Amino acid sequence: MNTLPKRFGKYGLTLHTEKTRMIDFRRPLAKKSGSASFDLLGFTHFWGKSRKGNQVVQRKTASPRFSHALKRISEWCRANRHRPVAEQHDVLSQKLQGHYGYYGITGNMRGLTRFVHEVERTWRRWLDRRSSGRTMTWERFRLVLRRYALPRPRIVHSVYATAATPPSDEPDAGIRTSGSVGALGATPGPPGRCLPVGPAHERVVSRCG
């Protein structure tokens, strides 16, 4: 931790001392699952197994971000439940597309599927509360979804398709810590590539982004 601030300082970058920490995130031993994990840029990074049985770094939507996004959907549905269903569908579709645009990364299909399922449940609940009759049963809501189907989950960012050696003009390429990097001047986007960093015993694991 004493070296990283100096390395980042060469390029005009700073590390947030309270949000930056070193994590032992080494590849687990064979036939054992990794227990270490950390949240970064809205994703929980953890060790898992690929389809071939190899240990790989996987990512899923971080629980706090998932809950926050769903809460905002619920608040919107509540405030706009009396608008025409077609208008509600258009706005919810845009919100879901935006969610997929950020969290639609390789390995996170389960998180996306769960999110759209929760959005459907939330939408039905607030449509059911438009009147005291509570007439929006699940059977009727399924008919609504046939006409106003919400966008299905999709992977937008493939870490395998975009993985490549970082350009030489990116001096900090290949470095990622589990903290916030200050003085960047912009909000970082979703992870676009994840590259191994240094030897296997290195405690910084990858650059996503």
Grade residue 192 by pLDDT with cuts at 50, 70 and 90. Answer: very low
pLDDT in tens, 98-153: 999 999 999 999 999 999 999 999 999 999 999 888 889 999 999 999 999 999 99
**CB neighbours (10 Å) of residue 160?**
8
Question: Is residue 183 over pLDDT 90?
Answer: no
**CB neighbours (10 Å) of residue 132?**
6
**Which of 13-27, 44-58, 150-164 has the largest mean confidence?**
44-58
| Coil, strand or helix at 182 | strand
- C-beta separation of 119 from 150 below 8 A: yes
- C-beta separation of 44 from 67 below 8 A: no
Distances in Å between the alpha carbon of 206 and those of 24, 25, 191? 13, 10, 10
